[in-house]
């Protein structure tokens, strides 16, 4: 959603949080969060020292398949492809913006949690805003279908790790525990347990697991991004169509209501209901301590993640409530609301993509619109 910048526009190589990677036009510059850069360096280092790391034993004298270097290679492969999918997602926003009237791209920011932001601006109306918003998620669903067809062509069936009963097409459940039991053998070497074979030694199994996880991730990413919550693509997409037949204040109220409903619904669905289920079967859990149970650990991980994510959405939602109470004067900073009196100023403030090397300032340093998708 469009947010005006008031400070002097400056595009340093390092801004304290990210590292700028310049590109040749028409490819916009990328910014990589420092933590993402550290993760990339750690992955490169592990590729060199990983084969020398011995098998890590668990506290009970056994070995865990998750601590094997093959599992780490799998995680690195999935993470690298997720980052690539994020680049495609944000690149979709950027390409759609360049097709819009006076479309400009400032830069694309990549975060360590496989997320990103495309800082763009354009002079188009509601339909262009909807297209720019949807041009990112369309890559999510496209890559998910690509992973699906790759599995169908390679294995005759597609596999899903946790969406088997949700997806509309026919998929088989990825039984990871069975793969581990059938593919792992442990021997004693100098009195220490070592893997003789690991289930990920088989390239077919390796890519089956990776593609199944990536397909599920991309489907979930598409659905999540299309939720009409402030700061997500769905808010710009559905808000733009709602703006076609209403006014900016009504659109602001619509997005406030949809954001609060979705946030509350996700907290209930992924937090409260699973907590009630865990509470009902608490006495039946045999693991000691009880939090070591797989279902309990999965609940704690997902609940904490969802709550943190939802809390992050409340801030922008409350700011939108305040701006909506201020009327058109408060909503003029958001391009999606298309405030008539200020729209020409918003459109005239579109961000140039590149300037001459002798002058890296933008045409209007005091005010311009940034669309954060």
Residue 364 belongs to a domain: no
> In 3D, which of 152, 145, 202, 142 has the Cα closest to residue 172?
152
Tens digit of pLDDT for each residue in 245-287?
888 899 999 999 999 999 999 999 888 998 898 888 888 888 7
In this structure, is residue 211 part of a structural domain? yes
Same domain, residue pair 57 and 181 = yes
Cis peptide before 26 (omega within 30 of 0): yes
Separation of alpha carbons 201 and 330, rounded Å = 58
Measured between its terminal Cα atoms, the distance across the chain in Å is: 7
120 domain-assigned:
yes
Do 102 and 235 lie in one domain? The reply is: no
186: exposed, middle or buried (Cβ count in 10 Å: 0-12, 13-18, 19+): middle
pLDDT of residue 103: 84
What is the b/e burial string over 67-99, where b = at least 16 CB atoms within 10 angstroms of the residue's CB?
A: ebbbbbbbebbbbebbbebbbbbbbbbbbbbbe
For residues 181 and 266, membership in a common domain is answered with no
Structural domain boundaries, residue 163: 15-226
Of the candidates 200, 226, 252, which is a domain's last residue? 226
Given a cut of 90, whether residue 356 has pLDDT beyond it is no
Claim: this prediction has a pTM higher than 0.85? no
CA separation for the pair 160, 179 (Å, rounded): 14
In terms of domains, do 127 and 153 share one?
yes
184 and 306 belong to one structural domain: no
Both 90 and 219 in one domain: the answer is: yes
Q: Rounded to whole angstroms, how far apart are CA atoms 88 and 83? A: 9
Core vs surface per residue 4-38: b (16+ CB within 10 A) or e: bbeeebeeeeeeeebebeeeeeeebbbbbbeebee
pLDDT (tens digit per residue) in 7-53 = 444 455 555 567 777 777 667 777 877 777 777 787 777 776 655 55
Tell me the average pLDDT across 200-209. 91
Residue 104: strand pairing partners: 121
Asked if residue 183 is part of any domain, the answer here is: yes
* Tokens matching residue 90: 């944000």
For the chain, give the mean pLDDT: 79
The answer to whether 132 touches 104, Cβ cutoff 8 Å, is no
The yes-or-no verdict on residue 328 having pLDDT over 90 is no
Confidence at residue 9, expressed as pLDDT on a 0 to 100 scale: 43
Cα gap 201→212, rounded to integer Å: 17
Could you say which DSSP state residue 57 is in? Answer: B
Give how many domains the chain has, as a whole number. Answer: 2
347 belongs to a structural domain: no
β-bridge pairing 30-33 and 185-189:
unpaired
| Domain-embedded: residue 370 | no
Asked whether residue 210 falls in the same domain as residue 250, the answer is no
Q: Is 360 a member of any domain?
A: no
Give the pair of three-digit tokens for residue 170: 């026919």
């Amino acid at each position: 959603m469009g947010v005006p910048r008031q400070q002097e526009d400056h595009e340093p190589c390092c801004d304290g949080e990210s590292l700028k990677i310049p590109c040749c036009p028409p490819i916009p510059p990328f910014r990589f969060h420092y933590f993402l850069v550290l993760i990339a360096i750690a992955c490169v280092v592990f590729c060199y020292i990983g084969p020398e790391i011995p098998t890590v034993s668990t506290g009970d004298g056994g070995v865990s398949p998750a601590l094997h270097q093959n599992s780490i290679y799998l995680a690195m492969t999935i993470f690298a492809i997720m980052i690539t999918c994020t680049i495609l997602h944000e690149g979709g926003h950027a390409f759609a913006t360049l097709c819009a009237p006076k479309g400009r791209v400032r830069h694309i920011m990549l975060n360590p949690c496989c997320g990103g932001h495309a800082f763009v601006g354009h002079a188009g109306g509601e339909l262009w805003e909807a297209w720019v918003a949807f041009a990112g998620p369309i890559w999510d669903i496209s890559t998910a279908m690509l992973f699906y067809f790759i599995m169908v062509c390679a294995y005759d069936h597609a596999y899903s790790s946790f969406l088997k009963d949700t997806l509309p097409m026919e998929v088989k459940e990825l039984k990871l525990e069975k793969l581990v039991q059938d593919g792992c053998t442990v021997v004693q070497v100098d009195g220490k347990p070592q893997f003789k074979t690991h289930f990920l030694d088989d390239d077919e199994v390796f890519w089956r697991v990776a593609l199944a996880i990536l397909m599920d991730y991309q489907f979930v990413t598409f659905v999540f991004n299309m939720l009409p919550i402030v700061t997500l693509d769905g808010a710009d997409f559905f808000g733009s169509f709602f703006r076609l037949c209403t006014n900016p204040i009504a659109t602001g109220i619509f997005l406030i209501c949809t954001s609060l409903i979705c946030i509350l619904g996700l907290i209930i669905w992924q937090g409260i209901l699973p907590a009630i289920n865990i509470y009902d079967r608490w006495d039946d859990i045999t693991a000691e301590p009880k939090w070591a149970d797989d279902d309990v650990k999965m609940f704690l991980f997902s609940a904490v993640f969802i709550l943190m994510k939802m809390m992050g959405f409340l801030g922008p939602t409350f700011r939108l409530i305040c701006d909506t109470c201020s009327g058109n004067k408060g909503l003029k900073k958001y391009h999606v609301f298309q405030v008539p009196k200020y729209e020409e100023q918003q459109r005239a403030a579109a961000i140039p993509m590149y300037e001459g090397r002798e002058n890296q300032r933008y045409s209007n340093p005091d005010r311009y619109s940034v669309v954060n998708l």
